[in-house]
Structure 1
Amino acid sequence: MTFYSYDYLKGGQVNWAIIKIVLVSVLALAFLVFIIKYSRNKWDLKYRDLSIILGTLLLLAAAIQYSDYTNLRTASVQSGQLSVVIEKSAKKLDISPHSIAINDTSRNNDMLIKTPKGYYSLVFNSSGSEFLLVKVDLYQPDITVIQ
């Protein structure tokens, strides 16, 4: 069973987003360079062909970037909700939120948290605004914590 630490949920996957933005920026710059070279040398068709190829790659990369951005925004909202759940759980159990790990990255009713005091199940009310912590004993747990 995989658990995700509080720090992992707060950090998100920002590094990949930065790399993708840099890639799109490099493609856009190369596209502009080839467009300028083609406009200066109308008879040299290799710059036109390279501009078309890079323009197509730029559109594809921008579409992928937009899709990833919407997915990242959704994941950020969900991990923010889980961060609040972890902080409230830590306060109820009187421990540090950094010592808690949760077994899912999106909120549902079958969630477990791992604390130094043991494992707890989270039972949410119908509106999802409050939850109940129920101590559970796991039978032969095979736990991996992602930091």
Structure 2
Amino acid sequence: MTFYTYTYLKGGQTDWRLIKIVIIVALALAFLFFLVMYARRKWDRKFKDLAIILGTLLLLAAAIQYSDFTNLRTASVQSGQLTVVIEKSAAKLDVDPRTISINDTSRNNDMIIKTPKGYYTLVFNSSGSEFLLEKADLYKPDITVIGE
């Protein structure tokens, strides 16, 4: 069973965002360079072909970046909901939120949290606005904690 720490959920998983932006900027600059070279030398078709190839790659990279951005925004909202749940659980159990791990990255019913005081099941009400903490005993738990 995989658990995710409070710090992992709070920090987000956006390590590659800067690299993707650098790649898109480099493609855009190369695309503009080949367009300028084609405008200077009208009869040299290799610059036109390279500009078309780089323009296609630039559109593809921008589409992938937009898709990743919308996925990141959705994941950020879900992680934000989970961090609130962890903070409320920590307040109810009187522990530090950074010592709590949760077994899912999206909120659902019957989630399990790992605290220094043991394992607890989170059972949400029908509207999802409140939850019940119930002590749980895991039989032979195979635990992996991500974010420690």
Answer yes or no: same fold by TM over 0.5: yes
TM-score (norm 2): 0.97
- Give CA deviations for 1:25-83 in whole Å, capped at 9, x if unaligned: 11111111111111111111111110000000000111111111100000000000000
TM-score (norm 1): 0.98
> What corresponds to 2:63 in structure 1?
63
Q: Identity of paired residues, percent?
A: 77
Matched ranges for 1:1-147 at <5 A: 1-147=1-147
The amino acid of 2:46's aligned partner reads: K
Moved over 3 A (4+): none
Q: Is the 8 A contact 2:4 2:105 kept in 1?
A: yes
Q: Is the 8 A contact 2:111 2:121 kept in 1?
A: yes
Report the Cα offset of residue 16 of structure 1: 1.3
Distance in structure 1 (CA, Å) of the matches to 2:120 and 2:89: 10
Aligned pairs, number: 147
Distance in structure 2 (CA, Å) of the matches to 1:127 and 1:4: 24
What is the SS of the residue equivalent to 2:65? Answer: helix
Distance in structure 2 (CA, Å) of the matches to 1:143 and 1:22: 37
- Give CA deviations for 1:1-38 in whole Å, capped at 9, x if unaligned: 00000011011122112211111111111111111111
- Give CA deviations for 1:111-131 in whole Å, capped at 9, x if unaligned: 100001000000001110110
Q: Give unmatched runs, 5+ long, in structure 2.
A: none
